[in-house]
Amino acid sequence: MRPNSELARAADIGVGKTGGIIVDDRLHTGTPHVWAAGDCVESRHRITGWPVVIALGTHANKQGRIAGTNIAGGQAAFGGVLGTAITRFQGVEIACTGLTEREAGAAGFDAVGVVTETSSKAQYFPGAQPMKIKVLAERGTGRLLGAQIVGGEGAGKRIDVLATALWNNMTVAEIGGMDLSYAPPFSPVWDPVLLAAGKAASRI
C-alpha cells in the first residue's frame, strides 16, 4: 500500500520520503488553510520518532477528529502512532504493536526478543487456546519496544495491554509486575502479558 498524495503534490504541498503528506502534530500541511489526515499523511512513530505511513482506520479516525477540531478553531494534537493492529485468519488471531525485531535493529536499538508460549485461559478450562507472545525490549534499559501475539480466541486483544505500556514507555520489568485480572474462564493466574514481560525482564 502507498499513500494517495498526488493531489497534494499537484498543489505543491510537502510530501515526505514515505510518500505521505507532511503535517505537523495539529495536522496542518504548512500551506495556509490546508490540513490533511488519514492514509495519505505521514505520522511520527512514537518509538523511533521517524515519520511513517501506517494505513489504519484507528489513526485515520483520530486524525480526522483532530484536523476537524483545529479547522474549527480548537486546539488538538495528534500523539503519534505505534502501529497497533489486529486481524483474524482461519480462526487464528494475530496482533502487533510497536517495532518488530528487524525494525528495531534498523532503528539502531539493541533489542532482545523473547517468545513465550502460554494459554488464553486456565489450561484446564474448556475452550483454552494456545497462544504465543513475542516481546521485544531494549537491552540495558529494559524498555518495551514492541510485541506480537498469535493464538486462538481471546489471544489477540491482549495486545492492547502491551500497546498501553508501550505508549507510556514502560519497561518489561514494570509490565511484569502490573495488576492484571484473573479468573479461569479468562486467563491463567499469570496473565500471558505478565508471563511474557517477566520472561523478557529475566532475559535482559
User: Where do contacts with ligand FAD occur on this chain (CB under 6 A)?
Assistant: 4, 7, 38-39, 55-58, 60
52/56 with CB nearer ligand FAD: 56
By beta-carbon proximity to ligand FAD, the closer residue of 20 and 176 is 20
Strand partners, 125: none
d(CA 184, CA 92): 21
Give the phi and the psi of residue 72 in degrees, each rounded to 5: -85, 10
Residue nearest to ligand FAD (CB): 38
Residue 85 CB, shortest distance to ligand FAD, in Å, is: 7
Residue whose CB is less far from ligand FAD, 9 or 102: 9
CB of 146 to ligand FAD, least distance (A): 17
Closest distance of CB 126 from ligand FAD, Å: 29
Report in angstroms how near the CB of residue 87 gets to ligand FAD at its nearest. Answer: 7
The residue among 41 and 136 lying less far from ligand FAD, judged by its C-beta, is 41
Measured at the alpha carbon of residue 200, what is the angle toward residues 195 and 204, in degrees to the nearest 5? 150
Q: How far is the CB of 36 from ligand FAD (least distance, A)?
A: 9
Cα distance between residue 51 and residue 131, in whole Å: 32
Q: Which is nearer to ligand FAD, 34 or 56 (CB)?
A: 56
Neighbour-count burial for 110-143, b at 16+ CB within 10 Å, e otherwise: ebbbbebebbbbeeeeeebeebebbbbbbeeebb
Euclidean distance between CA atoms 14 and 17, whole angstroms: 10
Measured in degrees and rounded to the nearest 5, phi and psi for residue 39 equal: -60, -25
In 3-state terms, what secondary structure has residue 144? strand
